[in-house]
């Protein structure tokens, strides 16, 4: 599940593979960039902001441009050695290939692929709230933004990247379980909003640098989460069956006993019944 930590890790993969390198070829397989050729451009750096990837590069002595991409639910970047087979995903999912003398970066099923002047980067990511894994993380500002809409459910508010950037379904569910807060609780009724935000930041930070996302500290398969992906399985704390609610791409898992209070999604029937 690409959330802030996965995107942070991906930015680091691209940084190691390409930073400082002069591209020997590029191949864009999306209509909006089909005519773009970055051959001869130098990759300056790779960065992440929330769930957005920013690859900054420039032609000689020119102002830098940013290649933006978003992984959403299913995108990925992989770095290969020249000549190595690209095995991560089927070839028809490839959206871009960047070649350097030492590495080939392949972007699979990327979304929102765009090339903009770095000076205009804010047009792509300026709407985002504080980045949980960014150098300028600002917990007070994130709390302030969340609290600005007290009637919204906390589950939805945590996913809104304008409040804080980096949380997806996995961390939303796990943070609220660990805080004992029902996902359907209005933000204004969450007992300790700063504590909730601080925990989200700690969980994401703990998963930087590894690809297995764990909120339990356990890395073995089946043990990495408290509630996420565990529908109908017994809660690790109280044994109650974990519930699941799905609304489009928004998935919520919770323990009705450990996270009491508001029981059901507002104006939605429990789809488990
Ligand atoms: Zn429980």
Q: Active site includes 51? A: yes
Q: Exposed/middle/buried for 169, CB within 10 Å: 0-12, 13-18, 19+?
A: buried
| 81: CB partners within 8 A, 6+ apart | 102, 103, 104
Can 2 be counted among the known catalytic residues? Answer: yes
Summarize pLDDT for 87-131 with one digit per residue, the tens.
999 999 999 999 999 999 999 999 999 999 999 999 999 999 999
Active-site residue, selected from the candidate residues 51, 179, 243, 244: 51
Residue 245 among the catalytic residues: no
Burial class (CB in 10 A: 0-12, 13-18, 19+), 108: buried
Has 90 been annotated as catalytic? no
Q: Quote the ligand 1 centre to 5 CA distance (angstroms).
A: 26
3-state DSSP assignment of residue 170: helix
d(CA 71, CA 94): 13
CA–centroid distance, 238 to ligand 1, in Å, is: 4
Distance 35 CA to ligand 1 centre (A): 54
Distance 170 CA to ligand 1 centre (A): 17
Confidence of residue 248 (pLDDT cuts 50, 70, 90): confident
CA 119 / ligand 1 centre spacing (Å): 48
Surrounding ion ligand 1 within 5 Å at CB are 235, 237-238, 240, 255, 257-258
pLDDT in tens, 173-198: 999 999 999 999 999 999 999 999 99
CA 53 – ligand 1 centroid, Å: 36
């Amino acid at each position: 599940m690409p959330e802030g930590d996965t995107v942070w890790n991906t930015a680091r993969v691209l940084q190691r593979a390409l930073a400082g390198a002069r591209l020997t070829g590029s191949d864009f397989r999306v209509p909006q960039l089909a005519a773009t050729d970055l051959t001869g451009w130098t990759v300056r750096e790779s960065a992440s902001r929330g769930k957005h990837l920013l690859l900054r590069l420039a032609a000689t002595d020119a102002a830098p441009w940013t290649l933006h991409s978003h992984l959403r639910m299913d995108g990925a970047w992989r770095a290969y050695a020249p000549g190595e087979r690209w095995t991560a995903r089927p070839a028809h999912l490839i959206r871009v290939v960047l070649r350097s003398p030492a590495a080939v970066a392949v972007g699979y099923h990327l979304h929102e692929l765009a090339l903009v002047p770095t000076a205009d980067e804010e047009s792509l990511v300026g709407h985002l709230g504080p980045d949980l894994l960014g150098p300028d993380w600002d917990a007070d500002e994130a709390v302030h933004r969340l609290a600005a809409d007290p009637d919204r459910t906390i589950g939805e508010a945590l996913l809104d990247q304008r409040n804080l950037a980096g949380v997806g379904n996995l961390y939303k569910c796990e943070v609220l379980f660990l805080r004992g807060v029902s996902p359907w609780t209005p933000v204004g009724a969450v007992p300790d909003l700063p504590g909730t935000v601080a925990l989200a930041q700690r969980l994401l930070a703990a998963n930087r640098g590894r690809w297995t996302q764990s909120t339990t500290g356990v890395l073995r398969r089946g043990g990495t989460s408290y509630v996420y992906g565990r529908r109908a399985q017994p809660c690790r704390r109280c044994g109650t069956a974990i519930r699941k609610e799905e609304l489009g791409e928004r998935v919520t898992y919770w323990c009705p006993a450990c996270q009491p209070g508001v029981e059901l999604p507002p104006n939605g029937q429990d789809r488990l019944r």
